[in-house]
């Protein structure tokens, strides 16, 4: 039998590799800028024409290459960055596969000029993978790679290129990602002669984020600093109230290397829990630091993905890092300086644990049993200050650095939400048996909702019994506050559930808890006793995320003293 297996000629192998590494102009830009940064460049200039379809040029002031190295660099698996398989573990350069230059050169008209600072420079010309020219070059130290007519010899690939606008955006994105990865390097991107991005060398990480993502977005970000087990995480995340459904930016790095990972982004979102409106997508940039053995960076030809040895651990770390950053944010909210933190602690001391059974809640909101109830453990000096209810909706009080305004409904909603979440996963809420059961008429959809949420409804304290036709009888109800209208709450809650009004919650229980909390909370327009206001505030500051209600809106607003002084011309 004649031999049927043959080793592919290099040119063919390179073209096959190019299929994996060089997908579109953005991948060429990525590989070339990575090479420049690996070569220690302090300034990299990228130029594109027609979305990179006709021209991509990347110039750097890095180490450059001697002539022999330059020619060798075009060979497959030619790399100066690793020498053995062992070097792959913990490789710190972007490149290490030695594939990019030959792959790019095999599908374009390629030129490379370089000078390593000794002797004369070198210029190479390659067309479709064939080395056509080696000549002297007069230039400064560094390297310039010029890629023209990408995919000229692979028409099938060329056909898959998208519009100039779309290719330009993808290339811009690639440059932006690398700019974020290397704040110390200066980068410029020029598109058809116009400068699209220019960041100076030697920026701090924060300056770089502001330069690449814009000052407006940067102003909505708060720092993340986390370390536990094998993971260290730093970076920034967006304040919950500033997140929007569209236009988000996300960027992940592991040991300085950018990568994509939808699951880790989702883990970060889980860290926001109920602080964020269901449809909103927070921007974030997280740098994970793990020991090199914990992560395999060589699982994707373009190195866009990585593999964690402990994936669950990575997701948990990201979620916790976000959660920690947000709770730090809570105590940093400018309500009378550190006052919230202080009150938060006071409240915790008064009522250990933030998830309180609704029985206790009912007590709190019940009218005072006796007048001598002050001086109890729940009486914190901070809340001894007079509280004022305005418009039967807001609670006002004086803090060291300003006037604090709390929305009573939002605040109670947040308190109930956390209490209910603990009941849904733990013990049932104590319910109050009704002497006269309530009878309610519901629609078919509402009856379905009662049925499908039966267990959750029971756990928050409703005992609902179907009574033939569309009638439901309530034998027992929860008692979240004294003016609680159980029939109305039940009706509104099942209507919300039936209409899917609280849609978008990832978790069914969270959705139920938010619906119940919204409907059971004291409403705007209800008059509260001073004691009730005080208790509500104590409860609020004992929750995990006091400044946000379950819709991601604010529960607390402050009027800084400074602002008052400015308006009255005192400063």
Ligand X SMILES: Nc1ncnc2c1ncn2[C@@H]1O[C@H](COP(=O)(O)OP(=O)(O)O)[C@@H](O)[C@H]1O
Residue 96 interacting with ligand X (CB under 6 A): yes
Q: What is the DSSP string of 30-42?
A: HHHHHHHHHTT-S
Do the Cβ atoms of 233 and 226 come closer than 8 Å?
yes
Tokens of 521: 């909370």
Residue 33 interacting with ligand X (CB under 6 A): no
- Smallest distance, Mg ion to C-beta of residue 102, A: 10
Type and span of the H or E element at 111:
strand 109-115
> Which of 15, 35, 146, 283 contacts ligand X by CB under 6 A?
35
Q: Between 79 and 220, whose beta carbon lies closer to ligand X? A: 79
- Smallest distance, ligand X to C-beta of residue 154, A: 19
Residue 63 interacting with ligand X (CB under 6 A): yes
> Which of 23, 50, 66, 80 contacts ligand X by CB under 6 A?
80
284-289/250-254 β-pairing? parallel
What gap in Å lies between CA 241 and CA 472, rounded to an integer? Answer: 39
What gap in Å lies between CA 545 and CA 355, rounded to an integer? Answer: 12
- Smallest distance, ligand X to C-beta of residue 118, A: 14
Tokens of 81: 């960055």
> Which of 19, 42, 66, 78 contacts ligand X by CB under 6 A?
78
Residue 39 interacting with ligand X (CB under 6 A): yes
What does the per-residue mask of binding to ligand X show for 124-143, with x meaning CB under 6 A?
-------------------x
Residue 30 interacting with ligand X (CB under 6 A): no
DSSP state of 553: -
Q: Between 94 and 462, whose beta carbon lies closer to ligand X? A: 94
3-state secondary structure of 176: helix
Q: Between 73 and 178, whose beta carbon lies closer to ligand X? A: 73
DSSP state of 512: H
For Mg ion, the binding residues (CB under 5 A) are 35, 95, 100
55-60/142-148 β-pairing? antiparallel
Tokens of 567: 């308006």
- Smallest distance, Mg ion to C-beta of residue 92, A: 13
Residue 186 interacting with ligand X (CB under 6 A): no
96 binds, among ligand X, Mg ion, none (CB under 5 to 8 A by kind): ligand X
The CA distances from residue 234 to 294, 314, 483, in Å, are 17, 13, 46
- Smallest distance, ligand X to C-beta of residue 75, A: 9
> Which residues, listed in sequence order, are joined to residue 463 by a DSSP beta bridge?
476
Do the Cβ atoms of 540 and 348 come closer than 8 Å?
no
Q: Between 35 and 423, whose beta carbon lies closer to Mg ion? A: 35
> Which of 36, 174, 211, 536 contacts ligand X by CB under 6 A?
36
Residue 56 interacting with ligand X (CB under 6 A): no
> Which residues, listed in sequence order, are joined to residue 146 by a DSSP beta bridge?
57, 111
Q: Between 36 and 382, whose beta carbon lies closer to ligand X? A: 36
Do the Cβ atoms of 380 and 516 come closer than 8 Å?
no
Residues forming contacts to ligand X in the complex (CB under 6 A) are: 31, 35-36, 39, 60, 62-65, 73, 78-81, 95-101, 143
């Amino acid at each position: 039998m004649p031999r049927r297996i043959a080793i592919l000629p290099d040119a063919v192998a390179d073209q096959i590799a190019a299929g994996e590494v060089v997908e579109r102009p953005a991948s060429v830009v990525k590989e070339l800028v990575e090479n420049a940064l690996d070569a220690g460049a302090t300034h990299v200039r990228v130029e594109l024409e027609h979305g990179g379809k006709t021209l991509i040029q990347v110039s750097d002031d890095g180490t450059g290459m001697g002539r022999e190295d330059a020619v060798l660099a075009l060979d497959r698996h030619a790399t100066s960055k690793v020498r053995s398989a062992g070097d792959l573990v913990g490789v710190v350069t972007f490149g290490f596969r030695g594939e990019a230059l030959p792959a790019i050169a095999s599908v374009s008209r390629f030129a490379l000029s370089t000078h390593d600072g000794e002797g004369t420079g070198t210029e190479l010309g390659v067309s479709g993978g064939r080395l056509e020219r080696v000549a002297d070059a007069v230039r400064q130290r560094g390297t310039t790679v010029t890629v023209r007519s990408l995919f000229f010899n692979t028409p099938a690939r060329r056909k898959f290129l998208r519009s100039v606008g779309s290719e330009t955006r993808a290339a811009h994105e690639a440059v932006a990602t690398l700019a974020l990865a290397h704040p110390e390097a200066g980068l410029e991107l020029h598109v058809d002669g116009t400068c699209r991005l220019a960041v100076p060398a030697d920026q701090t990480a924060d300056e770089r984020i502001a330069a690449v993502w814009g000052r407006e977005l940067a102003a909505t970000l708060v720092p993340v600093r986390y370390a536990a087990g094998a993971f260290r995480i730093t970076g920034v995340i967006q304040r919950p109230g500033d997140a929007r459904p569209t236009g988000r930016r996300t960027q992940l790095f592991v040991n300085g290397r950018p990568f994509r990972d939808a699951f880790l982004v989702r883990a970060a979102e889980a860290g926001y829990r109920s602080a964020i409106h269901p449809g909103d997508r927070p921007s974030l940039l997280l740098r994970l630091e793990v020991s090199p053995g914990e992560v395999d960076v060589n699982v994707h030809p373009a190195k866009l993905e990585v593999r964690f040895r402990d994936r669950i651990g990575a997701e948990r770390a990201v979620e916790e890092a976000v959660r920690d950053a947000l709770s730090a944010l809570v105590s940093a909210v400018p309500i009378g300086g550190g006052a919230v933190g202080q009150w938060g602690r006071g409240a915790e001391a008064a009522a250990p644990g933030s998830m309180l059974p609704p029985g206790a809640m009912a007590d709190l909101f019940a009218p005072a049993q006796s007048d001598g109830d002050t001086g109890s453990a729940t009486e914190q000096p901070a809340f001894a200050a007079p509280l004022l209810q305005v418009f039967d909706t807001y609670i006002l009080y004086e803090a060291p650095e300003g006037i604090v305004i709390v929305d009573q409904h939002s605040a109670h909603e947040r308190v109930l939400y956390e209490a209910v979440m603990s009941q849904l996963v733990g013990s049932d809420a104590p319910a109050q048996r009704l002497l006269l059961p309530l009878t309610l008429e519901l629609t078919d959809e509402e009856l379905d909702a009662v049925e499908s949420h039966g267990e959750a409804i029971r756990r928050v304290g409703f005992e609902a019994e179907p009574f033939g036709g569309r009638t439901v009888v309530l034998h027992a109800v929860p008692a979240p506050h004294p003016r609680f209208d159980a029939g109305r709450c039940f009706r509104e809650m099942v209507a919300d559930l039936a209409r899917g009004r609280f849609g978008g919650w990832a978790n069914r229980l969270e959705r139920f808890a938010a619906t119940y909390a919204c409907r059971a909370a004291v409403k705007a327009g209800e008059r509260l006793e001073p004691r009730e206001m005080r208790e509500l505030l104590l409860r609020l500051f004992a929750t995990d995320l006091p400044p946000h209600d379950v819709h991601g809106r604010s529960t607390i607003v402050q009027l800084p003293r400074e602002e008052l002084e400015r308006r009255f011309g005192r400063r």
